[in-house]
Amino acid sequence: MTRSGNDWTSRGKSSRSGGSASSWNGWRGWRTARAGGVRLFFPPDVVVQVKALACELPWQTGVPLSRWSRAELARHAVQKGIVATISGSTVWRWLSADAIRPWQHRTWIFPRDPLFAQKAGPVLDLYQGFWQGQPLLPGDCVLSTDEKTSIQARIRCHGTALPEAGRPMRVEHEYDRGGAWAYLAAWDVRRAKVFGRCEPTTGIEPFRRLVAQVMGQEPYRSAGRVFWVMDNGSSHRGEACVLRLREEWPTLVPVHLPVHASWLNQIEVYFSIIQRKVLTPNDFRSLAEVETRLLDFQAHYEKLATPFEWKFTRDDLARLLDKLDYDERPSKVA
C-alpha cells in the first residue's frame, strides 16, 4: 500500500529525537487547522487504515452492504474511530492515487479443475507453434471452435432513425421475436480464416456438419494434422467425441480445454468481434437476414484479418494460477 506524501502528515510538533509528535498533539494540530477553515491534513497511518478498510468486504466488517461507496467508507471510518471526520471526496482522492475502486466489481470464475494447467498447456503451446515439445510442421493446421447460441432476430416495431447532427441513431426499444440461430464457427489460428454456419440448435450433428464443412476443403483435407481446440460443451465433450471425430477424420486431433477456460479459446475473440460489429444493435427484418449478415461478414472480415497476436503463454498461466491460489487462501481460512 502506497504511503501518503509529506503534505498529508499532521502538523504536530517534532520530538527531540526527530520523530513526529504524539498522536494527541498531532490531532490537536489537526483540530486547530480544521477550526481555522484550512484544508485537513491526515497522518499517514490514518490514510493507510482507510485504504485497508476499502479493501475489505463490507459485510465482513459488520456493515450489511455488498460493496462500498466513497460516502459509506468515510462514514464507517468515522464510526470505527479511525478519524474524527472525513469527506467522501478525500477518500476518493486517496483511493484514486492507488487505483483502488471498491465501488466497482467484475465477475470471475476461479479454475476448479485440479489439472487446469496440464490441460490448458497444450492449447497454449499450439498457439505458440508447438505440440508435445516439437515445432508444428508447415502443413499442420490449428483451428479453434465453439458455438454462439441464441442469436435472436429482433424485429423492431418501428424503423431505426438514422443519426443527425447532435442526435445519435435511435433504435426502437420494443421488438417482435423472429426466431434465433445457433452460430457454429471455427477460426484458423495460423491463417486467419473463419468458417461458420447457422443451425436451429447446437448438438452433435450440427457440430459434425461444421467439421465436415471445414475438413472437406483444402488445405485441411490433405493436411497431416488438423488440431481442433474446443471446450467441453455437450456437442463435443469427452472421449466419445474424440473417438467419433478420429473415426470420421483420421488426421483430426481434438484438443479439449479444461472447464471454465473459454477465455483461452481464440474463437471467443472472433465472437466478440461478431457481437460488436454485426449484432449490436440487434435490428433485423427476419431470421434469414441474421444468417446472411453473419455469413457475409465472414468473407468481409477475412479480407482484412490477420492472426490474433496471442501473447499468453504457459509461463503466464502458471503465474496467474499461483496468484489465484494465493488470493483464494483467505476465504478458505475464513
- Round to whole Å and give the CA distance between 201 and 182: 5
Q: Read off the pTM.
A: 0.74
Q: Which own/partner contact pairs does 278-281 have at CB distance under 8 Å and 24+ positions apart? A: 279/151, 281/160, 281/169, 281/171
Question: What pLDDT shows up at residue 160?
Answer: 86
Question: What pLDDT shows up at residue 326?
Answer: 57
- Round to whole Å and give the CA distance between 42 and 75: 16
- Round to whole Å and give the CA distance between 229 and 142: 8
Tell me how crowded residue 292 is: count the other CB atoms within 10 A of its CB. Answer: 13
Residue with cell 496471442: 310
Partner residues linked to 148 by β-bridges: 183
Closest CA to 214 of 296, 147, 144: 144
- If one looks up domain 116-160+171-318 in CATH, what number appears? 3.30.420.10
pLDDT in tens, the chain (334 residues): 444 444 444 444 444 444 444 444 444 444 444 444 556 689 999 999 999 999 998 988 889 988 889 999 999 999 999 999 999 999 999 998 888 777 788 887 778 888 999 999 999 999 999 999 999 999 999 999 999 999 999 999 988 888 889 899 899 889 999 999 999 999 999 999 999 999 999 999 999 999 999 999 999 999 999 999 999 999 999 899 999 999 999 999 999 999 989 999 999 999 999 999 999 999 999 999 999 999 999 999 999 999 999 999 999 999 999 888 755 554 443 3
204-215 and 238-248 helices, crossing angle to 10°: 40
Question: What pLDDT shows up at residue 21?
Answer: 44
CA neighbours within 13 Å on the CB side: how many for 102? 26
Per the omega criterion (within 30 degrees of 0), is the bond before 281 cis? yes
Domain boundaries for CATH 3.30.420.10 within the chain? 116-160+171-318
Question: What pLDDT shows up at residue 327?
Answer: 56
Burial profile 10-45: b = 16 or more Cβ within 10 angstroms, e = fewer: bebeeeeeeebbeeebbbbbbeeeeeeeeebbbbee
| Cell numbers given for 302 | 477475412
CB 254 within 8 A of CB 271: no
- Round to whole Å and give the CA distance between 144 and 217: 17
